[in-house]
Structure formats: structure tokens, C-alpha cells
Amino acid sequence: MKPKYRMGTFPTLFAALSLTFAGFAAAAGDEPITPIKAPTGIHQGKAELGKKLYFDPRLSKSGFISCNSCHNLSLGGTDNLPTAIGDRWQQGPINSPTVLNSSLNLAQFWDGRAADLKAQAGGPIANPKEMGFTHELAVNVLATIPGYVSEFRHVFGKDKIDMDQVTEAIAEFEKTLVTPNSRFDHWLRGDEKILTADEKAGYALFKKSGCVACHNGEAVGGNSFQKMGLVEPYKTSNPAEGRSAVTGQDAERFSFKVPTLRNVELTYPYFHDGAAHTLTEAVNLMGRLQLGKKFSTKENAQIVAFLKTLTGDQPSFALPILPPSTDKTPRPVPFD
Ligand code: HEC
Ligand code: HEC
């Protein structure tokens, strides 16, 4: 049955709403960036299980590499390396993006080849250059650990652990990895004094120069694919071709998912090839390659100062203690 409103409640409701909007408009105006909202509707059981799996190196062939090895939650959800190090110290092909706020992305990976976090989470376990395992072996390992068997049964209500449950739990944990309450978000919500004059000037430049055309919304990016080197071609030895590898459309060659700029102070080095080590360098290149603009040293520093206001509350929780292996658990193979 549809809810019915008493006529009398309408004017009050309307007045309350327009008051809220007026308050919001006064505080945030029509800003192209919106504050990060805390996640809602999280399934606690799945998220807690997913947290364990996220930190568990036994999902890798070597027994040494976990999701947290490359998406280190003590380092802004990245490894701070140009490209990742995988199984047997193999050089990864591309920079590890942060997992922070990844639930806000329109799709996952630089080229968007995974539709969502659940679709993404199975990838690294079986990727020979990442965790180097197979889904079957990973599930076998979990099935020999009684602590996991009972927790999976409790959370999913099924007798057998499968990969679908593993990826669902990891994805649920990842949804909790959002970073609200950055200084910039406080400013958006009306705390005028929280930003310095330089930080505000940096934000004004970020808008006026056109950065917001691609970096906007809640994540300040993550919501479109755009060409890298729009005005001037980007020179790199990295062979990644971007979105065209997924769509087959030649026009999308060298289009990448616009990275989130939330917590960008923590997620160096920058770009899909990890070639820019500092924000100064990244801002300089973005200005030139995407907008045909050369910023003065002062302007660059102001934009960088603004970008550093986007660091929010980092995920904080007790490190999960993982259930021990048993005599039946297949042994890790770190060397061969
Ligand atoms: C060996 C390093 C490594 C490990 C281990 C690893 N990742 Fe990644 N991760 C990467 C790299 C590199 C990419 C980017 C790959 C690409 O775009 O082609 C990535 C991409 C992602 C993304 C997409 C983010 C975005 O903005 O597109 C998510 C989410 C993610 N990983 C989660 C995980 C989870 C969950 C695990 C554990 C099951 C994991 N990763 C294990 C290196 C790693
Ligand atoms: C036409 C769209 C577009 C515009 C305009 C744009 N960017 Fe970007 N930005 C991107 C894309 C795409 C990437 C990823 C490129 C890559 O890795 O190859 C990126 C990457 C970045 C990064 C690195 C983030 C990371 O984690 O690797 C920073 C910092 C950045 N942009 C800042 C800016 C600033 C500052 C401006 C304005 C001067 C700007 N961008 C303008 C599309 C854009």
C-alpha cells in the first residue's frame, strides 16, 4: 500500500525542505564537488569477514601477498610504488589505484573492465602477476580453516564456501573504506574558516582552469573515462592502452578512468604508469596536457594546497586476527 500524506503536512514539509535547500545553497553554492557521505546499509557480518579476507595472505600462492600488500590501508590504500610488485617479485604492469572510496567509481580498474567491486575482487587472487593463485585453491585453503568455515556459514547460511561469497564479503568491506570529514568537506558544509587563503585560491583555480570538467562529484573523479593527453600527447613507455582495450573503440585509446583526487596527498606516485612522483609534477602535467595551461609556481602551489584539503578520515579499526591454518591446510608456495 502506498503511504498517504495528510494534506496538512504538506506546507510544513515544503517549508522545512526549502529551508534545508536554502541552508545548503548558502553553504555549498552550486559546487561541482560534494561532500563524502558515510556509507549506509553495510552488512556488518559480511564486512567483518571481508576485512579478514582483505588482510589474509593465504589467498595468494606464496602465502605472503594480501590485498593490503598493494592497497595498504596504512598508506592511503595504495603501495606508493610506480607499479605494483606481485608474486615472485614480478613487476606489475600498472599503478595500484587506491581502494579508498572505490565504491564511488563508475567501474573498477584504470580501464573500467570490472563493473563493480564484487566483479573486481576475484581478479587479483588468480592474476599470475598479483597473488598468483587460483580461485579453486583459495577456496580450498579457506575450507580447511574451521574459523572461516563457521564464519562463512554464519554470514551466508550455506554449507560450502565458494568464490561468490568470498568476493561479496571483500566488496562489502571495501564499501566501508570511504573517507568523510576532509577539511574541504567541512568547508563545503559551511565552515568558512577551515581553509587558508591559498587553499581557497587553489580551489578557485581548479574550477576556473577547467580541472572540474573531469574531476568532480563526491569522489572528485571516478565518474568518467577521459583521454590522457587531450591537448598534448602524454609520453610514456607503459603499454597500457586504456579504455579501448575493453570497448575495442579506437577513439577510446588512451582514455582512462579519471582517478579520484580524494586523499591524493597520500596516493603518490601518480598516473596509470606511476611516473609523476609529486603533486607539483602531476598538477603541472595535467595543466599542460589536459588544458593547454601553464601554471606559475605560485598557482601550482595553491592548487596543490587545495588538493591536500581532500584528505579525509582514514579507515580505522582493530587489525583483524585471522583464524589459524590446520594440518589439512595446503602449504604456501613462496619459492619455485
Ligand atoms: C600485487 C598487487 C595487488 C594485489 C595483491 C591486489 N591488487 Fe588491487 N589492484 C592492483 C593494481 C595494479 C590495480 C590496477 C589494475 C588495472 O587497472 O589494470 C588494482 C586495482 C584494484 C581495484 C580498482 C580500483 C580502481 O579505482 O579502479 C580495487 C577495488 C582493488 N584493486 C582491490 C583489490 C582487492 C580486494 C585485492 C585482494 C583480493 C587486491 N586488489 C589485490 C594491485 C593489486
Ligand atoms: C579532460 C579530463 C581531465 C582534466 C581537464 C583534468 N584531469 Fe586530472 N586526470 C584525468 C585523467 C584521465 C587522469 C589519469 C591519467 C593517467 O593516469 O594516465 C588524471 C589524473 C590526475 C591526477 C593524478 C591522480 C592519480 O591518483 O594518479 C591529478 C593529481 C590530477 N589529475 C589533477 C588535475 C588537475 C589539478 C587538473 C587541472 C589543472 C586536472 N587534473 C584536469 C583527467 C583530467
What does pLDDT average to over the chain? 92
How far is ligand 1, taken at its centre, from the CA of residue 98, in Å?
8
Give tens-digit pLDDT for 110-155. 999 999 999 999 999 999 999 999 999 999 999 999 999 999 999 9
- Distance in angstroms (rounded) separating the CA atoms of residues 67 and 59: 9
Give tens-digit pLDDT for 3-18. 333 333 333 333 333 3
To test ligand 1's pocket by mutation, which of 130, 134, 261, 272 has the most ligand atoms within 8 angstroms of CB? 130
- Distance in angstroms (rounded) separating the CA atoms of residues 316 and 336: 37
How far is ligand 2, taken at its centre, from the CA of residue 41, in Å?
31
pLDDT at 336: 82
Does 48 participate in catalysis according to the annotation?
A: no
Q: Please check the confidence at residue 19 and state whether its pLDDT lies above 60.
A: no
List the domains of the chain with CATH numbers: 44-175 (1.10.760.10), 183-310 (1.10.760.10)
How far is ligand 2, taken at its centre, from the CA of residue 215, in Å?
7
Q: Whose CA is nearest to atom 13 of ligand 2?
A: 258
40-76 exposure pattern, b = at least 16 Cβ within 10 A, e = fewer? eeeeeebbbbbbbbbbbbbbbbbbebbbbbbbbbeeb
Confidence bin at 30 (pLDDT 50/70/90): confident
To test ligand 1's pocket by mutation, which of 53, 68, 99 has the most ligand atoms within 8 angstroms of CB? 99
The pTM for the full model equals 0.92
- Distance in angstroms (rounded) separating the CA atoms of residues 326 and 331: 10
Confidence bin at 29 (pLDDT 50/70/90): low
The SS3 of residue 2 is coil
**Which residues form ligand 1's pocket by a CB distance below 6 Å?**
65, 67, 69-71, 84, 86, 92, 94, 96-97, 99, 102, 105, 108-110, 117, 120-121, 124-125, 130-131, 170, 174
